[in-house]
């Protein structure tokens, strides 16, 4: 898990760097600071469970088992990317590992995840679907409509809300009159809990409870993970809407730092094993970047390919 968190962190840092260099065009939403959530979630789910993501999905995808090389290649818009250069940062899927796609429409993936859970229930395959969403997305109608449907049909879905306190520039506290997103679960008869999203073990435990509920036919769970995005929303963001003090407070609560301290206090991690994990993760990221840079540009002739099955 620790290595996965490092991988996500280094990957996003690298992605932002190449983006600033101009090698990656369009947009690029990184999840720096939020790594504990996908890593914790997928550490307890089964490989054949599913996930539907948001516009900030690189980390979700990597934690689900997608190939960092192909994710990076997609950021570069190259032929070997998961969408062959058609999707970019916020439209990637890897069905082989059950990652059903990131999504450029805020809240758009929530009914998709709910429908995937309906399919799982109808097929009686015992699988669970994770529906990632942001605090901002919880103000979309799709969130409310989907939670209601999942509740009446007892669908095997976990709504994983990453509340990083902001939706672009909008503070959660100004965009909702309730204190926690989790309060909204009650409106639909869905059990909900607030979890420290920067504590990977807490993420893991809450997910395990929700997955057990889902698999035993008891239906959906809403988990609100409190977290913080260390980087800007996207490239142009200079973050005038939050204070440097607030950022500093959250930096101390860095999920990677905290997990490292925890592992060290348990005697599982020391300087040399940490250095090894870091260099392993770094190597994977460097390799992904090299792969992406060497991947050919897609052929413009092929642009309409695959529109219809």
Partner 1 sequence: MREITYARAIREALAQEMRRDPNVFCMGEDIALYGGAFKVTEGLLDEFGPERVRNTPISEGSITGVATGAAMLGMRPVLELMFCDFLALAADQILNHAAKFRHVYGQQVRVPLTIRTPSGGGRGYGPTHSQSLETWFMRVPGLKIACPASSADAKGLLTTAIRDDNPVLFIENKMLYSLKGDVPEGEHLVPFGKAAILRRGDDLTIAAYSRMSVESLKAASILAGEGISAEVIDLRTLCPLDVDTVVASAQRTGRLLIVEEGTITCGLGAELGFRVFERIWDYLECPPRRLACPDVPIPCNTKLEAAILPSAVKIVDEARAMMEAG
Binding site for partner 1 (CB under 8 A): 50, 52, 81-84, 86-87, 91-95, 100-101, 103-105, 108, 110-120, 122-123, 141-142, 145-146, 148-149, 152, 305-309
CA nearest 94: which of 72, 120, 137, 64? 64
Q: Among residues 92 and 277, whose Cβ is nearest to ligand TPP?
A: 92
Under the binding rule (CB under 6 A), the answer on residue 167 touching ligand TPP is yes
Of the candidate spans 80-88, 111-119, 131-139, 177-185, the one that interacts with ligand TPP by CB under 6 A turns out to be 131-139
Q: Among residues 30 and 97, whose Cβ is nearest to ligand TPP?
A: 30
Tokens of 141: 């109608």
Q: Which run of H or of E encompasses 148?
A: helix 141-152
Considering only residues 246-275, where is the footprint of ligand TPP by CB under 6 A? none
Of the candidate spans 68-76, 101-109, 261-269, 273-281, the one that interacts with ligand TPP by CB under 6 A turns out to be 101-109
Three-class secondary structure of residue 159 per DSSP = strand
CA distances from 180 to 110, 161, 165, 186 (A): 19, 10, 10, 12
- What is the rounded CA–CA span in Å between residue 99 and residue 42? 11
- Rounded least distance, CB 54 to partner 1, Å: 13
Under the binding rule (CB under 6 A), the answer on residue 134 touching ligand TPP is yes
Under the binding rule (CB under 5 A), the answer on residue 167 touching Mg ion is yes
In this chain, which of 166, 188, 230, 259 binds ligand TPP, going by CB under 6 A?
A: 166
Q: Among residues 143 and 291, whose Cβ is nearest to Mg ion?
A: 143
Q: Which run of H or of E encompasses 171?
A: strand 170-171
How is 172-211 classified by DSSP, letter by letter?
A: HHHH-SSS-GGGGGGGGT--EEEEETT-HHHHHHHHHHHH
CB of 59 closer than 8 Å to CB of 38: yes
- With CB under 5 to 8 Å by kind, the binding choice for 168 among Mg ion, ligand TPP, partner 1, none is ligand TPP
- With CB under 5 to 8 Å by kind, the binding choice for 137 among Mg ion, partner 1, ligand TPP, none is ligand TPP
In this chain, which of 9, 55, 69, 70 binds ligand TPP, going by CB under 6 A?
A: 55
Under the binding rule (CB under 6 A), the answer on residue 232 touching ligand TPP is no
- Rounded least distance, CB 90 to partner 1, Å: 10
- With CB under 5 to 8 Å by kind, the binding choice for 110 among ligand TPP, Mg ion, partner 1, none is partner 1
- What is the rounded CA–CA span in Å between residue 180 and residue 307? 41
Cβ-closest position to Mg ion? 134
Residue 191's Cβ-count burial label (10 Å; 0-12, 13-18, 19+) is middle
User: Integer distance in angstroms from the first to the last C-alpha of the chain?
Assistant: 38
CA nearest 53: which of 8, 109, 95? 109
- What is the rounded CA–CA span in Å between residue 298 and residue 78? 6
Q: Which residues on adjacent β-strands are paired with residue 221?
A: 158
Q: Among residues 35 and 80, whose Cβ is nearest to ligand TPP?
A: 35
Under the binding rule (CB under 5 A), the answer on residue 164 touching Mg ion is yes
- Rounded least distance, CB 136 to Mg ion, Å: 5
Residues that bind ligand TPP (CB under 6 A): 55-56, 104-106, 134-137, 164, 166-168, 233
């Amino acid at each position: 898990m620790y290595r996965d968190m490092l991988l996500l962190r280094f990957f996003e840092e690298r992605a932002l760097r190449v983006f600033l260099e101009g090698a990656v065009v369009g947009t690029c939403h990184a999840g720096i600071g939020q790594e504990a959530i996908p890593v914790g979630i997928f550490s307890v789910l089964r490989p054949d469970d599913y996930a539907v993501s948001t516009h900030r999905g690189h980390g979700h995808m990597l934690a689900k088992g997608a190939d960092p090389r192909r994710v990076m290649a997609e950021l570069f818009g190259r032929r070997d990317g998961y969408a062959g250069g058609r999707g970019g940062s916020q439209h990637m899927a890897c069905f082989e590992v059950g990652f059903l796609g990131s999504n450029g429409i805020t809240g758009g993936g929530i009914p998709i995840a709910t429908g995937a859970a309906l399919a799982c229930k109808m097929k009686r395959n015992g699988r669970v679907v994770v529906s990632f969403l942001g605090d901002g997305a919880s103000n979309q109608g799709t969130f409310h409509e989907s939670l209601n449907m999942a509740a009446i049909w007892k669908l095997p879905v976990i709504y994983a809300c990453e509340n990083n306190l902001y939706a672009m520039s909008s503070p959660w506290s100004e965009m909702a009159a309730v204190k926690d997103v989790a309060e909204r679960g009650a409106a639909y008869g869905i059990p909900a809990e607030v979890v420290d999203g920067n504590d990977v073990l807490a993420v893991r435990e809450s997910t395990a409870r929700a997955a057990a509920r889902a698999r035993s036919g008891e239906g959906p769970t809403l988990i609100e993970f409190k977290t913080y995005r260390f980087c800007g929303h996207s490239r142009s963001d200079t973050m005038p809407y939050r204070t440097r003090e607030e950022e500093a407070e959250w930096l101390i609560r860095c999920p990677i730092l905290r997990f490292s301290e925890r592992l060290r206090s348990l005697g599982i991690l020391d300087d040399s094993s940490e250095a090894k994990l870091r260099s392993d993760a770094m190597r994977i990221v460097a390799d992904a970047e090299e792969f992406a840079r060497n991947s050919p540009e897609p052929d413009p002739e092929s642009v309409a390919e695959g529109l219809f099955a």
